C-alpha cells in the first residue's frame, strides 16, 4: 500500500514538474547570455539552477548561454540572434580561450573595443555592458556586482544597465528582471489592435438595419511568427482608429522611445516637428505636412528630385541639387556632399543663406545608394548651424536593427553627432580648423575638405540637436518591419475625393442619430464602397 | 519587433548576397543578367575605402564594415539591381514573368532597363531558388529564340544590344523650376542655371551644351 501510494505521488509530482516544460513549447523563446568568471566545469550545474527558476505563469521561456571572457561575449552578441539579455558577473577576463583571428581583426569589434578598459586581467563590468549596448542597443544588461552596486549604478558610464544586483542575492529577482525587460519590448500596440480587430465577429446585416460595423478585414496571421501574411484590404475605420486614438498613441510613443528618445513627448499637432512621425500611412501627405512645418515663411529648401513636389505644395522654394548621373545605366545616383555644400555656399555668397531652412534627401534611394548621413549633417551644419534635415527613409526602415547600417540612418547619425558635439576634443578640432582656414572660410576652399561644425553654436540652441537634426522616417518600411503589413489601398486612394476628405482631418464620430444620418455615406464609411 | 529585428536583417543581407552570387555565377543566367556591384553603382571618387564588390575578390565582412564606416556613398547590399539591358533585353522581357512567377515577398520592381530585387526581412530562403528558376527560364527562352531564328535573329539581337548599350540617351538635364516657385526668376536662379551648364558633370553637360 505505502509503496503504491508513493508511486502515485511520485508520478503526480513528475507530471507537475513536466507541465511547465510542456507549456514552454508554446511560449516565445529567447536566450540569455551569462558572462561569468566561473570555470566552465560549473556551467552545466549553474544552467540547471537557472532553469529551476521557471514558473508556469512566465510569459516567455529562456535558456542560458555561458561565456567566460569579453571576446567570447562579443562573439556571442554578434552571432547569436536569439539573445535578448546579457547578465554580467563582476570580474570576467578579456582574452578568449579560443583562437578567433577574424574576430580580432573585425572592424565591428574594433569599434566596440573603444569602450573597454585596460586589456588583460579583470575587466570592469561596464566595459562589457557598454560595448554590447553599442552593438545591439536593444539588449538588456543586468549586472551582478560584488562591490557597492549602489555606487556602480550611479556612475554615468552605467547608464545603459537595466539593473544592478549585489552578487546572486535574489535569483528570482534576476529571473523576473530578464522577463520583464523582454516583455516591455514585446508589446506591439499596433499589431495587437489589428489582431483584436480581426477577431471581431463579422456582421452580415446592412448597416442601416443593424448599425453594426461591417468589417471586411482579411488578416491572415502566420501562426509561427505572428506576422501578417495577407493584410488587405484594411478598412478606413481601422486606419483612422489606429492613427489617432489609444493604442497607436502608445505605439507612437513606444516607437520614439525605441528610436532613442527616452521620455518622448507625444505632441500630435506640435508646431515644431520634434519627433519622428511613425504611424502615418500616407507618406506623401506626411512629407508635405512635415515640410510645411519645417519651413514656415517662404524659405528655400535644398532637395532632390522626388521630394520637390512636397516643397512646392508647402509654399517653399525648392533649390534643386542634382545627383551624380550614371549614364551607362541610365540611372541617377545620390547627391554628393560637395554639391550640397556648393549650393549652400553659393547661396551664402548671394546673401540668401538665411532663407535656407531645410535639406531634404532620400537616404537609400531606390537603387540602393546610402549616404554618409553623419558627414552630410556635420558639414552642412558647419555652413549653417540651424539647418533642419529631413531624411526620407522609406526603403530603409530595417536599417535600425543592424549595427552595420545604423550609423548610416538619420536617427543613428543624429545620436553619433550629438555625442561628438558634446566632446571637448571636437571643439578643439573645430577651432584648429577655423584657425587654419581663416578668412578663406567664405571661399570655395571650404567645399573641398571635410569640416567640423561649431559645437558651441550647436549647444547654444537649447536642447539643440533634437530640434535641428529632425528626421522624418517615412513609414511604409517601418510599418512593414513592424509586421503590420501595409494597407496598399490607403496609399493609392488619392483620386477619391471622399476618402481624401476623411483622411486629412480625423473626423469626430457623430454622436446623435440625426448627425449620423447627415454624414454622407461616402465620408467616413467610404472604405466599404471602395474596398472591393 | 526588436525581439527579432537583428536576426531578420542579418538574414536578409545573407539572402541578398546569395542572390548576387547565384545570378552572377550561374553559367546560363549570367549571360543575360548581371547584378550590379558596388563598383558599378558608386564611382571610385566616392569610395574612399576602395571596396569594389561585396561578393568578388575575397571581400569579407570586415571590408564591408570598413566601407560602411568610411565611404561617402555605399551600396545597400540588400538592393540587388540587375542590369538586363546590355544583354539585349528590355524590361518587358523580365517584368511580367518575374512578377507572375517569382514575386511573393521579395519585391521585384523593374524599371526601364534594369530590374531591382530586394529581399526583405520576411523573405524565405526558397524565394532565392524560385527567383533563379524564373531567370533560368527567361534565359532559356532567349537562347531558344536566338538558335531557332538563325542569322537574322542574331544580327537583330546584336543591333538591339548596341542600341541599348552604346547609343545611351543622356539623362534629362534639370533646367529650372517654374517661375511661380522662384523669388526672382531673372536673378540668382537664372545665373545659377548657366553656371550649372558650364560646370557639374562632364557626362550630362553634353546634352545641355549641344542644345543651347
A527 pLDDT tier (thresholds 50, 70, 90): very low
Q: Which of residues 396-425 of A touch B (CB under 8 A)?
A: 396, 398-402, 404-405, 407-408
**Residue A29 — very low, low, confident or very high, per pLDDT cuts 50/70/90?**
confident
Give the percent of chain A with pLDDT over 90: 7
B98 and B12 inside one domain? yes
Residue A88: inside a domain: yes
CA distance B162 to B66: 38
Residue B158 and residue B185 in one domain: no
Same structural domain for residues A157 and A266?
no
Asked if B31 and B121 sit in the same domain, the reply is yes
Between A71 and B47, name the one with better pLDDT: B47
Identify whether residues B142 and B106 lie together within a single domain: yes
- Judge whether B184 lies within some domain: yes
pLDDT at A48: 94
pLDDT at A321: 80
**Cα torsion angle, A236, A237, A241, A247, sign:** negative
User: pLDDT grade, residue A18 (50/70/90)?
Assistant: very low
Both B139 and B196 in one domain: the answer is no
Contact A141, A158 (CB under 8 A): no
Nearest beta carbon to residue B81 from set A28, A339, A367: A367
What average pLDDT does range A232-261 have in this prediction? 44
Question: Would residue B43 count as lying in a domain?
Answer: no
Residue A292 lies in domain:
250-481
A304, part of any domain: yes
Dihedral in degrees, nearest 10, Cα atoms A20, A26, A30, A35: 10
Residue A504, pLDDT > 50, answer no
**Residue A368 to residue B75: CA distance in whole angstroms:** 5
Nearest to B143 by CA among B183, B181, B93: B93
Same domain, A181 and A276: no
Confidence bin at A259 (pLDDT 50/70/90): very low
Q: Which residue of B has its CA nearest to A316?
A: B181
Check B2 against A401: CB less than 8 A apart.
yes
Q: Is the four-CA dihedral B112, B115, B118, B119 of positive or negative sign?
A: positive
Instruction: Say whether A67 sits in a helix, a strand or coil.
Output: strand
Listed residues A481, A504, A526: the one ending a domain: A481
A257 & A133 share domain: no
In a shared domain, residues B98 and B143: yes
Distance in angstroms (rounded) separating the CA atoms of residues B131 and A116:
45
- Is the same domain home to A377 and A449? yes
The residue behind cell 516583455 is: A183
In a domain, A114, yes or no: yes
CB within 8 Å: A402 and B75: no
Whether residue A326 is contained in a domain is answered as yes
> Euclidean distance between the first and final Cα of chain B, in Å?
55
Cβ contact, residue pair B42, A480, below 8 Å = no
Residue A494 lies inside a defined structural domain of this protein: no
Interface contact A138-B6, CB threshold 8 A: yes
pLDDT for residue A15 is more than 80: no
Number of domains chain A is built from: 2
pLDDT at B114: 61
pLDDT band for position A283 (cuts 50, 70, 90): very low
Lowest-pLDDT range, A72-86, A190-204, A398-412, A511-525?
Answer: A511-525
* Per-residue model confidence (pLDDT) at position A81: 86
> How far is CA A85 from its chain centroid?
18
Report the residue of chain B nearest A328, measured CA to CA: B168
pLDDT at B98: 58
Residue B9, chain A, CB below 8 Å: the answer is yes
> Are B68 and A324 within 8 A, CB to CB?
no
CATH (domain of A476): 3.40.640
**Residue B114, domain extent:** 2-37+75-165
Provide the CATH number for the domain around residue A109.
3.40.50.2300
Q: Is the pLDDT of residue A25 over 60?
A: no
Please give the pLDDT value at position A457.
61
Given this model, what pLDDT does residue B60 score?
80
User: Using one digit for the tens of pLDDT, what is the confidence trace for A371-405?
Assistant: 998 888 888 888 888 777 777 777 787 888 888 88
Q: Are residues A255 and A113 in the same domain?
A: no
pLDDT at B143 over 80: yes
pLDDT at A2 exceeding the cut of 60 = no
Tell me whether residues B113 and A330 touch, CB distance under 8 A: yes
Nearest Cα to A70, choosing from A121, A144, A111?
Answer: A121
User: Strand, helix or coil at B7?
Assistant: helix
Do A148 and A66 lie in one domain? The reply is yes
* Per-residue pLDDT at B16: 87
A36-68 pLDDT, tens digit each: 888 999 999 999 999 999 998 898 999 999 998
Chain A residues in contact with B8 (beta carbon < 8 A): 398, 401
Q: Are residues B152 and B207 in the same domain?
A: no
The top-scoring range by mean pLDDT among A188-197, A356-365, A514-523, B41-50 is B41-50
Domain count, chain B: 2
How far is Cα of residue B26 from the mean position of the Cα atoms in its chain?
A: 18
Which residues 106-125 on chain B approach chain A with CB closer than 8 angstroms? Answer: 109, 112-114, 116, 118, 120-122
More confident residue, A305 or A166: A166
**Whose CA is closest to B103, among B113, B112, B93, B95?**
B95
The answer to whether residues A405 and B68 touch, using CB atoms and an 8 Å cutoff, is yes
Q: What is the pLDDT of residues A460-497, one digit of tens each?
A: 332 333 333 333 333 222 222 222 222 222 222 222 23
Query: How far apart, in whole angstroms, are the C-alpha atoms of residue A99 and residue A101?
Result: 6
Q: Do B109 and A298 touch (CB under 8 A)?
A: no
Q: What are phi and psi of A310, to 5 degrees?
A: -60, -40
DSSP string for residues in A88-157: EES--BSS-SS--HHHHH-HHHHHHHTT--SSSSBPPHHHHHHHHHHH-TTSEEEEEESS-HHHHHTSGG
Averaged pLDDT of chain A: 62
Tens digit of each residue's pLDDT (9 = 90 or more) over A411-456: 788 878 877 888 888 888 888 877 777 655 455 455 555 666 766 6
Residues B122 and B191 in one domain: no
Q: How confident is the model at residue B81 (pLDDT cuts 50, 70, 90)?
A: confident
d(C-alpha A381, C-alpha A458), whole Å: 8
Chain B contact present for A214, CB below 8 A: no
Claim to verify: residue A64 and residue A171 sit in the same structural domain: yes
**CA torsion, points B204, B75, A302, A454, in degrees to nearest 10?**
-120
Q: How many residues are given for chain A?
A: 532
How is residue A474 written as a grid cell?
A: 517615412
C-alpha cell at B209: 551644351
pLDDT band at A175 (very low <50, low <70, confident <90, very high): very high
For residues A326-332, give the mean pLDDT. Answer: 77
B128 and B155 share one domain = yes
Angle separating helix axes A246-258 and A236-244, nearest 10 degrees? 60
pLDDT at A144 over 60: yes
The pLDDT, as a whole number, for residue A180 is 92
In a domain, A72, yes or no: yes
pLDDT of residue A346: 83
Average pLDDT over every residue of A308-328: 68
A322 vs A200, higher pLDDT:
A322
Shortest CA gap B131–chain A (Å): 19
Report pLDDT for B196. 43
Q: How do residues B5-55 score in pLDDT, each as one tens digit?
A: 788 888 888 888 888 898 889 998 888 788 888 988 899 999 988 888 988
Q: Give the per-residue pLDDT at B27.
A: 92
Per residue in A425-448, is it b (16+ CB within 10 Å) or e — as a string? ebbeebeebeeeeeeebeeeebbe
B61 found inside a domain: no
Q: Are A465 and A418 in contact (CB under 8 A)?
A: yes
pLDDT higher for B138 or A223? B138
Indicate if the alpha-carbon torsion angle A231, A237, A240, A246 is positive or negative.
Answer: negative
Average pLDDT over residues A79-96: 83
Q: Report the CATH number at residue B9.
A: 3.90.1150.10
Query: How confident is the prediction for chain B on average, in pLDDT?
Result: 71
Amino acid at each position: 500500500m505505502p509503496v503504491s501510494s508513493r508511486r502515485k505521488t511520485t508520478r503526480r509530482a513528475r507530471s507537475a514538474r513536466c507541465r511547465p516544460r510542456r507549456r514552454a513549447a508554446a511560449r516565445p523563446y529567447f536566450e540569455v547570455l551569462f558572462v561569468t568568471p566561473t570555470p566552465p566545469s560549473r556551467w552545466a550545474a549553474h544552467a540547471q539552477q537557472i532553469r529551476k527558476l521557471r514558473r508556469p505563469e512566465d510569459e516567455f521561456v529562456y535558456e542560458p548561454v555561458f561565456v567566460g571572457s569579453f571576446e567570447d561575449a562579443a562573439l556571442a552578441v554578434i552571432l547569436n540572434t536569439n539573445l535578448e539579455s546579457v547578465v554580467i558577473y563582476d570580474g570576467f577576463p578579456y582574452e578568449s580561450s579560443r583562437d578567433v583571428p577574424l574576430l580580432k581583426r573585425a572592424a565591428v569589434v574594433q569599434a566596440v573595443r573603444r569602450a573597454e578598459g585596460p586589456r588583460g586581467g579583470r575587466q570592469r563590468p561596464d566595459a562589457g555592458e557598454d560595448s554590447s549596448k553599442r552593438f545591439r542597443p536593444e539588449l538588456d544588461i543586468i549586472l551582478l556586482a560584488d562591490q557597492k552596486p549602489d555606487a556602480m549604478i550611479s556612475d554615468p558610464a552605467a547608464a545603459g544597465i537595466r539593473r544592478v544586483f549585489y552578487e546572486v542575492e535574489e535569483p528570482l529577482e534576476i529571473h523576473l528582471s530578464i522577463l520583464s525587460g523582454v516583455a516591455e519590448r514585446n508589446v506591439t500596440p499596433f499589431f495587437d489592435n489589428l489582431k483584436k480587430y480581426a477577431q471581431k465577429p463579422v456582421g452580415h446585416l446592412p448597416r442601416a438595419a443593424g448599425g453594426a460595423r461591417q468589417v471586411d478585414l482579411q488578416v491572415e496571421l502566420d501562426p509561427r511568427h505572428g506576422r501578417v501574411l495577407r493584410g488587405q484590404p484594411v478598412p478606413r475605420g481601422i486606419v483612422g482608429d489606429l492613427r489617432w486614438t489609444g493604442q497607436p498613441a502608445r505605439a507612437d510613443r513606444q516607437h520614439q522611445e525605441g528610436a532613442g528618445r527616452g521620455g518622448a513627448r507625444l505632441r500630435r499637432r506640435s508646431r515644431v516637428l520634434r519627433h519622428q512621425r511613425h504611424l502615418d500611412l500616407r507618406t506623401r501627405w506626411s512629407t508635405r505636412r512635415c515640410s510645411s512645418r519645417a519651413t514656415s515663411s517662404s524659405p528655400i529648401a535644398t532637395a532632390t528630385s522626388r521630394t520637390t513636389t512636397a516643397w512646392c505644395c508647402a509654399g517653399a522654394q525648392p533649390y534643386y541639387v542634382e545627383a551624380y548621373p550614371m549614364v551607362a545605366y541610365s540611372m541617377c545616383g545620390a547627391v554628393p556632399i560637395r554639391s550640397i555644400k556648393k549650393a549652400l555656399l553659393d547661396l551664402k555668397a548671394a546673401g540668401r543663406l538665411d532663407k535656407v531652412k531645410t535639406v531634404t534627401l532620400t537616404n537609400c534611394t531606390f537603387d540602393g545608394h546610402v549616404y554618409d548621413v553623419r558627414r552630410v549633417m556635420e558639414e552642412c551644419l558647419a555652413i549653417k548651424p540651424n539647418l533642419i534635415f529631413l531624411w526620407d527613409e522609406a526603403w530603409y526602415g530595417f536599417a535600425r536593427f543592424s549595427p552595420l547600417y545604423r550609423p548610416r540612418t538619420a536617427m543613428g547619425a543624429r545620436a553619433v553627432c550629438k555625442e561628438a558635439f558634446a566632446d571637448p576634443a571636437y571643439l578643439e578640432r573645430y577651432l584648429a580648423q577655423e584657425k587654419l582656414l581663416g578668412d578663406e572660410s567664405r571661399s570655395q576652399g571650404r567645399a573641398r575638405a571635410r569640416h567640423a561644425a561649431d559645437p558651441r553654436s550647436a549647444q547654444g540652441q537649447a536642447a539643440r540637436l533634437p530640434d535641428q537634426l529632425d528626421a522624418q522616417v517615412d513609414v511604409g518600411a517601418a510599418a512593414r518591419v513592424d509586421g503590420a503589413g501595409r494597407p496598399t489601398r490607403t496609399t493609392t486612394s488619392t483620386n477619391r475625393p471622399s476618402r481624401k476628405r476623411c483622411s486629412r482631418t480625423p473626423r469626430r464620430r457623430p454622436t446623435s442619430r440625426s448627425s449620423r444620418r447627415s454624414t454622407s455615406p461616402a465620408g467616413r464609411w467610404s472604405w466599404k464602397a471602395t474596398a472591393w | 519587433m526588436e525581439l527579432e529585428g537583428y536576426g531578420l536583417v542579418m538574414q536578409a543581407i545573407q539572402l541578398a548576397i546569395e542572390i548576387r552570387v547565384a545570378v552572377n555565377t550561374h553559367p546560363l543566367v549570367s549571360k543575360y543578367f548581371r547584378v550590379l556591384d558596388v563598383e558599378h553603382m558608386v564611382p571610385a571618387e566616392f569610395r574612399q575605402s576602395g571596396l569594389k564588390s561585396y561578393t568578388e575578390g575575397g571581400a569579407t565582412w570586415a571590408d564591408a564594415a570598413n566601407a560602411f564606416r568610411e565611404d561617402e556613398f555605399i551600396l545597400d547590399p540588400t538592393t540587388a539591381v540587375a542590369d538586363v539591358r546590355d544583354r539585349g533585353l528590355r524590361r518587358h522581357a523580365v517584368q511580367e514573368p518575374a512578377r507572375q512567377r517569382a514575386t511573393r515577398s521579395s519585391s521585384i520592381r523593374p524599371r526601364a532597363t534594369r530590374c531591382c530585387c530586394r529581399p526583405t526581412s520576411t523573405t524565405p530562403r526558397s524565394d532565392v531558388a524560385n527567383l533563379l528558376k524564373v531567370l533560368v527560364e527567361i534565359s532559356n527562352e532567349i537562347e531558344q529564340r536566338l538558335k531557332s531564328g538563325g542569322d537574322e535573329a542574331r544580327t537583330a539581337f546584336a543591333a538591339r544590344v548596341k542600341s541599348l548599350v552604346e547609343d545611351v540617351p543622356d539623362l534629362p538635364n534639370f533646367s529650372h523650376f517654374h517661375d511661380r516657385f522662384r523669388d526672382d526668376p531673372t536673378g540668382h536662379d537664372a545665373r545659377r542655371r548657366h553656371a550649372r551648364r558650364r560646370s557639374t558633370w562632364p557626362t550630362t553637360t553634353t546634352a545641355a551644351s549641344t542644345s543651347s
